[in-house]
Amino acid sequence: MVVGAGVVGVTSAYYLAKAGHQVTVVEKEGEAATLASAGNAGLIAPGHSFAWASPSAPKELLRSLTVDDTALRVNPFKAPGMAVWGLRFLRECNAERALKNTLVKLRLAQYSQRMLDQIASDERIDYDDIHAGILYLYRDPKRFEAGIKKMKLVQDHGQKQDVLDAEGVAEAEPFLAPVKHKLAGAIYGVTDSSGDSVKFTRKLQAACERMGSKFVFGRGVVKLDARGGKVRAATLDGGDALDADVFVLSAGVHSPRIARTVGVRLPIAPAKGYSATFPIRRNGGPEMRVGAVDEELLVAWCRIGDRLRMTSSAEFTGYETSYKEHDLRLIRKLATDLLPNAAEYDQGQYRACNRPMTPDGPPILGQAGPENLYINSGHGHMGFTMACGSSRIVADLIDGRKPEIPAEGLTLTSRP
């Protein structure tokens, strides 16, 4: 049984079904990919694997208590239960841990991108994917210089990253040519890509169903029932129970609550982000192709078919997913500054959703607590990028196969 049908749950189901298992996916919502997997920026970005817990993060979070312009924010009144998670996050905020955590994420992200490409090719899934790299844009020359230094780490570990001046940015993405004077330059993640995670997830659901997997929608798992060191069944919100031989927990930010019912503590906290989708404006000029991140506003965007998706902010404010016009200010600023003619901005669709963040950054994969309980949760800001690789690793662990990349730093027991 797989709990949760976001991109992580459905990719888990896929690899398990492929290995010959009879899979049932239980999903609280009415269809697959409706929470974090529906609101993301669509970037497949191993080049952006840097751990959020870094030496500069505490200062940024402290600043967010007094000023309004930071992308990373915490509200201690709205997120009072986060003390333990917060302390673990702070423990990771030194150069040595940040380096280690970044490399664990990078290795998984690189592997996962290969797995994603393979699934898309094997199952013939078109998910509005664009394989044209991602631009990490800088406006301020000093920050650009610092970004280039920081980028060397992922470059030294196999990511092809080019440094572009403003002219180079305009060449890589002619759509940005009219605003090149506002840019110091960019780091161009040449092999990064983008696509629609909802389309991908739902088409993969269909592939799972073709292999005989069952999807139970509109039923939430309330608790797991364990006896004799094994999970025997999952109790659903109607009161009935479903049994299975193996349980995979991939309920995103809600995994910790379910895991606690069998005594397993998962350090995963919600980091709220805002997501906007606009119809692309067609004006006869060059078409936007290359996804990007504004490294100063920390707004990310990409083209998804005939829509422009933009996302911003990471706020530790509890589980709620409300938003106000003011919360969209960074997206509005980016749209006005760099993409004024890209989309029909008066026809936006908006949402807020929660990234399932671990304090150190890498997701939690593998067995935990009862011998037949496996976790595949906590993919944070990179769950689309890391889903396929994570799910392949979890399926390998379930079947007793050695994963193709080391699981060190990904399982609960191999973390400090």
Ligand X SMILES: Cc1cc2nc3c(=O)[nH]c(=O)nc-3n(C[C@H](O)[C@H](O)[C@H](O)COP(=O)(O)OP(=O)(O)OC[C@H]3O[C@@H](n4cnc5c(N)ncnc54)[C@H](O)[C@@H]3O)c2cc1C
Q: Give, for 61, the enclosing helix (H) or strand (E).
A: helix 57-63
Q: Is 275 in the site for ligand X (CB under 6 A)?
A: yes
Query: Sheet of 221-227: strands edge to edge?
Result: 221-227, 230-236, 241-243
Q: How far is Cα 116 from Cα 386, in angstroms, rounded to an integer? A: 9
> Which of 282/326 has CB closer to ligand X?
326
Backbone angles phi, psi at 352, to 5 degrees: -120, 145
Q: Which residue of 1, 2, 4, 104 would you call a contact of ligand X, by CB under 6 A? A: 4
Q: How far is Cα 357 from Cα 352, in angstroms, rounded to an integer? A: 15
Q: Which residue of 356, 361, 362, 366 would you call a contact of ligand X, by CB under 6 A? A: 356
Listed in sequence order, the residues at least 6 apart from 378 whose beta carbon sits closer than 8 Å to its beta carbon are 255, 266, 267, 268, 356, 357, 358, 362, 363, 364
Nearest by Cα to 230 from 369, 332, 333 = 369
Q: How far is Cα 106 from Cα 184, in angstroms, rounded to an integer? A: 26
Q: Is 357 in the site for ligand X (CB under 6 A)?
A: no
Least distance in angstroms from the C-beta of 165 to ligand X: 25
**Count, residues near ligand X per rule CB under 6 A:** 43
Q: Which residue of 73, 139, 203, 355 would you call a contact of ligand X, by CB under 6 A? A: 355
Q: Are 273 and 300 in contact (CB under 8 A)?
A: no
Q: What is the DSSP track for 337-365?
A: HH-TTSB-GGG-EEEEEEEEE-SSSSPEE
Least distance in angstroms from the C-beta of 219 to ligand X: 7
> Which of 5/339 has CB closer to ligand X?
5
Structure tokens at 66: 């007094």
Q: Is 13 in the site for ligand X (CB under 6 A)?
A: no
> Which of 8/176 has CB closer to ligand X?
8
Q: Which residue of 13, 23, 36, 335 would you call a contact of ligand X, by CB under 6 A? A: 36
Task: State the Cα torsion 137-140-141-143 to the nearest 10°.
Answer: -80
Least distance in angstroms from the C-beta of 192 to ligand X: 10
For residues 294-333, which are near ligand X according to CB under 6 A?
300, 311
> Which of 43/248 has CB closer to ligand X?
43
Q: Is 202 in the site for ligand X (CB under 6 A)?
A: no
Span of 5-13, 203-211, 316-324, 407-415 interacting with ligand X by CB under 6 A: 5-13
For residues 232-271, which are near ligand X according to CB under 6 A?
250-252, 254, 258
Q: Which residue of 2, 6, 21, 113 would you call a contact of ligand X, by CB under 6 A? A: 6
162 forms beta bridges with 188
Q: Give, for 312, the enclosing helix (H) or strand (E).
A: strand 307-316
Q: How far is Cα 160 from Cα 149, in angstroms, rounded to an integer? A: 15
> Which of 12/170 has CB closer to ligand X?
12
Least distance in angstroms from the C-beta of 353 to ligand X: 4
Structure tokens at 368: 């935990």
For residues 204-233, which are near ligand X according to CB under 6 A?
220-221
Least distance in angstroms from the C-beta of 25 to ligand X: 9
Q: Is 139 in the site for ligand X (CB under 6 A)?
A: no
Q: How far is Cα 36 from Cα 27, in angstroms, rounded to an integer? A: 14
Binding track, positions 359-398, relative to ligand X; x by CB under 6 A: ------------------x-xxxxxxx-------------
Q: How far is Cα 5 from Cα 12, in angstroms, rounded to an integer? A: 9
For binding to ligand X (CB under 6 A), which residues are involved? 3-9, 26-29, 34-37, 39-43, 45, 220-221, 250-252, 254, 258, 273, 275, 300, 311, 353, 355-356, 377, 379-385
